[in-house]
Amino acid sequence: MNRVYNFSAGPSMLPEAVLKQAQQEMLNYGDSGMSVMEMSHRSSVYQGIIDSAEQILRDIMQIPDNYKVLFLQGGASTQFAMIPLNLFNGSKRADYVNTGAWSKKAIKEAARYGAVNVIASSEDTTFNYIPTLDKDTFDKEADYFHITTNNTIYGTRYTELPDTAEVPLVGDMSSNILSEVYDVSKFGIIYAGAQKNMGPSGVTVVIIKEDLIGKAMPQTPTMLDYKMHAENGSMFNTPPTYAIYICKLVYEWVKNLGGVAAMQKINEEKANLLYDFLDASTLFKGTVVKKDRSLMNIPFVTGDKELDAIFVKEVQKQGMVNLKGHRSVGGMRASIYNAMPVEGVQALVDFMKKFEVDHK
Ligand SMILES: *Cc1c(COP(=O)(O)O)cnc(C)c1O
């Protein structure tokens, strides 16, 4: 069986070059005589791997020196609790924007620890747009302001960040980190599970401004205190060593391609291929308001559930898999993260054209 074009929302495709390098280094990393999987996290060889992962990520995201980079476990979902536990240290109030299922989970979790104010929502139309935000409605005393920069399930993204002034902006960037250029200094915290755009599941990257560290609520479990991880270089306990190593290879891959700006150009090209086709199609249509369309996750429908199901089945036979949409949107969803080559999107569009002709 050949490798397929995998349009999964996550875990998702990894660059083939990365998988091949991991394969080459599987039994013997460098001169160590062992696999990265078998290595002590306290060894100098492993220290080299995690240091270089951090350094390359700092380079490609231009992370300022007054930010820590942490490699943690528990997925982005653990951050839903870790953020309020660490940041509710003033008014114990936070502003959240509700743009979908992941935002809702973040809101629900934060509400266990403080007062959550949902300042805007797009739930009225199944989250197919990013609500317009009015600065005057922001709580100036809030401990932080939370957004989901890209909404994996609904296929929306912010094209402009809210201006939260002194209030730290917290971004769940799980599904679009490294896909487009962001100014890290606009954020207090950026967090992302690795399994969409960076590596395998098991590691979560947290980029946090130093002055937000060390003020956790007293009941915060040690493992959920950013301070413990920051002071110990993400080695307070055993980190997800192999997942971090794969992330390092992915960061190198992005860097070698020309960095995040170059990646963004390719992503725009890929997304436009599909969006241009959807806009011209007489059968398929995108579900998201144009101005808020994601570069990473593209939901679309035919308007006929049975035809959608036929499409998903037939496209799979062509080696394009995981195109079934999320149950809350229906239809199809193409997740075209960094690792999806242009050829994969072109193959999808070509098949959609053929399908459209066959089902006139
Ligand atoms: C996948 C995803 C999550 C959940 O990540 P886990 O690592 O499974 O906890 C959270 N937020 C967004 C935006 C996601 O895409």
The domain spans of the chain are 5-13+259-358, 16-257
Q: In this model, does residue 285 exceed pLDDT 90?
A: yes
Q: In this model, does residue 1 exceed pLDDT 90?
A: no
How confident is the model at residue 133, as a pLDDT?
97
Please give the Cα distance from 354 to 171 (Å, whole number): 40
Angstrom CA distances, 57 to 73, 178, 244, stand at 18, 9, 11
The tokens of 51 are what?
């240091």
Mean pLDDT to the nearest integer, 98-120:
98
In this prediction, residue 70 has a pLDDT band, given cuts at 50, 70 and 90, of very high
Helices marked H in 29-100: 44-61, 75-87
Please give the Cα distance from 356 to 38 (Å, whole number): 51
CATH fold for the domain made of 16-257: Aspartate Aminotransferase; domain 2 (3.40.640)
How confident is the model at residue 283, as a pLDDT?
98
Mean pLDDT to the nearest integer, 70-91:
98
Domain 5-13+259-358 and domain 16-257, same fold? Reply is: no
Ligand 1 mutation target, pool 78, 83, 102, 156, most atoms within 8 A of CB: 102
In this prediction, residue 360 has a pLDDT band, given cuts at 50, 70 and 90, of confident
CA angle 321, 324, 329 (to 5 degrees): 155
Cα dihedral 252→258→261→267 (10° resolution)? -80
Mean pLDDT to the nearest integer, 307-316:
97
What is the CA(62)–ligand 1 centre distance, in A?
23
Name residues contacting ligand 1 (CB within 6 A).
10, 75-77, 102, 148, 152, 172, 174-175, 193, 196
The pTM of the full predicted model, rounded to 2 decimals, is 0.98
What is the CA(222)–ligand 1 centre distance, in A?
23
The CATH code that applies to domain 5-13+259-358 is: 3.90.1150.10
How confident is the model at residue 174, as a pLDDT?
98
Tens-digit pLDDT profile for residues 81-98:
999 999 999 999 999 999
Mean pLDDT to the nearest integer, 164-176:
98
Q: In this model, does residue 270 exceed pLDDT 80?
A: yes
